[in-house]
């Protein structure tokens, strides 16, 4: 699968992703029974994951969106910018931050720091994917659908320079293209 100038290989099928998303939703269903959290989708990467996840939970829920940016090409750039803020007031609310992937953790660290200032009652992290060996910040990931290798991936919302988000499956950078 060619995305811009890079070659990618099939890594996780759509079916497997959906099974893992359902399993994650089951965990949320146990923990949020009787509550009404705000699920905050971190744009752009989490938009497909969030859309599938919210349709699998069975508690009342509000949806919100925030946008952060940190990645250029294949590497995280270290500085994280908030590009668009949440519309809802989070004071006293339970928050589930819905993120596509945790890599170094810098983005999530910044998000959690922002929520602390806003006075949320609780803040939990639900991510689709985690590259555990690359985590260099001290953040707690409460729910994670899948652990993956430390390679660059695209598809199911994740991009390479803005492309590949619409792919149904997740693809991994080919070894030959990993320079």
Q: Answer for the pair 3, 163: CB distance below 8 angstroms, yes or no.
A: yes
Of 106, 115, 143, 156, the one binding ligand IMP by CB under 6 A: 106
CB of 163 vs ligand IMP, minimal distance in Å: 11
Least distance (Å) from ligand IMP to the CB of residue 33?
A: 29
Q: Which residue in 71, 115, 143, 171 binds ligand IMP (CB under 6 A)? A: 71
Is 115 an interacting residue with respect to ligand IMP (CB under 6 A)? no
Binding of ligand IMP by 125 (CB under 6 A): no
Distances (CA, A) of 119 to 35, 58, 67, 83, 115: 17, 26, 19, 20, 7
103 is catalytic: yes
Q: Which of 94, 100, 103, 114 is catalytic?
A: 103
The correct pick among 158, 165, 167, 170 for binding ligand IMP (CB under 6 A) is 158
Select the binding partner of residue 70 from ligand IMP, Mg ion, none (C-beta < 5 to 8 A, by kind): ligand IMP
What would the x/- binding string for ligand IMP be over residues 22 to 51, using CB under 6 A? Answer: -----------------------x------
Q: Residue 31 or residue 141: which is nearer to ligand IMP going by CB?
A: 141
Residue 26 CB coordination number (10 Å): 13
**Active-site residue set:** 103
List interacting residues with ligand IMP (CB under 6 A).
45, 70-71, 76, 99-107, 152-153, 158-159
């Amino acid at each position: 699968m060619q995305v811009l100038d890079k070659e990618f290989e099939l890594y996780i099928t759509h079916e497997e992703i959906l099974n893992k998303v359902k399993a994650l939703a089951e965990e949320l269903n146990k923990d949020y029974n009787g509550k009404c959290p705000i699920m905050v989708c971190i744009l752009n990467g989490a938009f497909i994951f969030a859309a599938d996840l919210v349709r699998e939970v069975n508690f009342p829920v509000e949806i919100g969106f925030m946008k952060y940016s940190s990645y250029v090409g294949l590497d995280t750039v270290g500085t994280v910018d908030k590009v668009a803020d949440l519309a809802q007031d989070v004071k006293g609310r339970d928050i589930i931050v819905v993120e596509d992937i945790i890599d170094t953790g810098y983005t999530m660290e910044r998000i959690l720091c922002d929520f602390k200032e806003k006075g949320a009652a609780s803040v939990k992290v639900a991510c689709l994917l985690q590259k555990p060996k690359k985590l260099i910040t001290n953040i707690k990931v409460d729910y994670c659908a899948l652990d993956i290798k430390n390679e660059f991936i695209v598809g199911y919302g994740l991009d390479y320079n803005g492309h590949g988000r619409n792919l149904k499956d997740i693809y991994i950078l080919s070894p030959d293209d990993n320079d």
